[in-house]
Structure 1
Amino acid sequence: MKNKKAQLNLYIPERHRDFLQRMAAKRMLENPKRSVTASKIGAEILCAHLENLKKGNLDLAGGAPNE
């Protein structure tokens, strides 16, 4: 089953945006044939974090449970 995608607009500090842009630029240099954006990387990070929360691997603060 294919996951439907939905748009979500977030406001993050400029330093985080800049960091995501640097990550995207680095990936583009590693593989110029593949398009990578800061938004795409941010979405990957957010989705991975939410999956870990769902599985109980993290608490809401981002640490391991029972720390």
Structure 2
Amino acid sequence: MELGEPECTGGCCGYLSVVVQRFGEVVQWSDWEVPYAPAPAPPEFHVEASRYDAEVARVEVDRSWQVQPEN
């Protein structure tokens, strides 16, 4: 799933990339890529799958957090 993408390419402005995988009742975020970052990539992160699913369902309904494109 792609959460967002800049108008330019990753090689131009940089980007943040992460692999999200589900292992049974655990969701894992790993293999972060943060080119051009001044600090190291974040560590691997684990969360209970039920909590992850609830949060994904919440943001699918409430999109107020999303940046709206300019006209």
**Bigger RCO (CA 8 Å, 6+ sep):** 2
TM-score by length of 2: 0.30
Say which structure is richer in strand.
2
TM-score by length of 1: 0.31
Say which structure is richer in helix.
1
